[in-house]
Amino acid sequence: MVFSRRPRQLREPFAYASKLGFRLFFLATLVFLYAPIILLMVFSFNDSKRNIVWRGFTTKYYVKAWENTGLVEAFINSLLIAVVSTIVSIVLGTLLALLLWRFRFRGKTLIEALSALPIVMPEICVGIALLVFFNRIGWPNDLPWPMNLSKIILAHITFTFPFVMLVLRARLVGFNPELEQAARDLGASQRQALFHILIPYLRPGLVAGGLLALTLSLDDFVITFFTAGPDSVTFPIKIYSLLRRGISPDINAASTVLILLTLLLAGVGVWWQTRMQKTTLYTANRPAVQ
């Protein structure tokens, strides 16, 4: 007698959410990831200097953090470094992604490997290498502000533009080159085809890569620690110096502001992408004018 095996039914992706074990695992993952951040934000309103036991609600430590001149200057330095390095990383990452996507040339594989090297290398190795490089070429440390941040900006560009390049290369995989060729056949120049066909298609990748570079630059500590000078203190380095005296609510308040700023930038990016997608769909579905 031959027994036929019943075919195994495939489950829908969200059908596993009905299982209790999956729900518990998902809940434990969320708690592990976000509970420390929530506790940090809650204890930034704690009316206690030791910040161990909840003593009451207060906002005075936000005022204290705002009145801390060194902390505010470090925060401004981090914002300036992040914005400048993100803009340059978007330009370099876009050019490199287009070069590797459009052209075939000798040494292309080597360039791809070298461009991804800052991503896979440990940050401490990159930081030491940049420290030796800047000392070897004699980079001055007594430049006026904001030129004294130039070493950190160059260091951040070194490890952020490969992330932008990878995001844009993944975006370019789904691009149809015939669209650009059709635009050229209809009389568009190479520059017009680039700015009216290719760049709008890359816009979601540009936003995602820019937000990724901005977040990495704001949060970086290791590479910045090796390339910062005595007058170019960033926000993570300032927080680290304050932590040597213990965790106080004003540190939690400053960290909360940075977290909220990052969430705000991410929200603006998602909103802008959604708006551009709706605009694109409206333009594509709009009847042509006779």
Q: Kindly list the distances between the CA atom of residue 102 and the CA atoms of 7, 144, 169, 198, 228, in Å, as whole numbers in the listed order.
A: 46, 42, 11, 12, 38
Local confidence pLDDT in tens for the 290 residues of the chain? 455 555 555 555 556 666 777 788 888 888 888 888 888 888 888 777 776 677 778 888 888 878 878 888 888 888 899 999 999 999 999 988 888 888 787 888 888 888 888 888 888 888 888 888 888 888 877 777 778 888 889 989 988 989 999 888 888 888 777 887 888 878 878 788 888 888 888 888 888 888 888 888 888 888 888 888 777 888 888 888 877 776 777 788 888 888 888 888 778 777 877 776 666 555 545 554 44
CB proximity list for 171: less than 8 A, separation 6 or greater: 201, 202, 204, 205
pTM: 0.78
Asked whether 40 and 256 are in contact (CB, 8 A), the reply is yes
Q: How far, in Å, CA of 233 to CA of 12, rounded? A: 51
Residue linked to tokens 């990878």: 166
Could you tell me the two tokens for 47? 């009316």
Q: For residues 253, 258, 259 and 261, what is the CA-based torsion angle, rounded to 10 degrees?
A: 120
Q: Are 86 and 160 in contact (CB under 8 A)?
A: yes
Question: What is the C-alpha separation between 214 and 82, in angstroms, rounded?
Answer: 5
Largest CA distance in the chain: 89
**Residue-range domains of the chain with CATH:** 73-255 (1.10.3720.10)
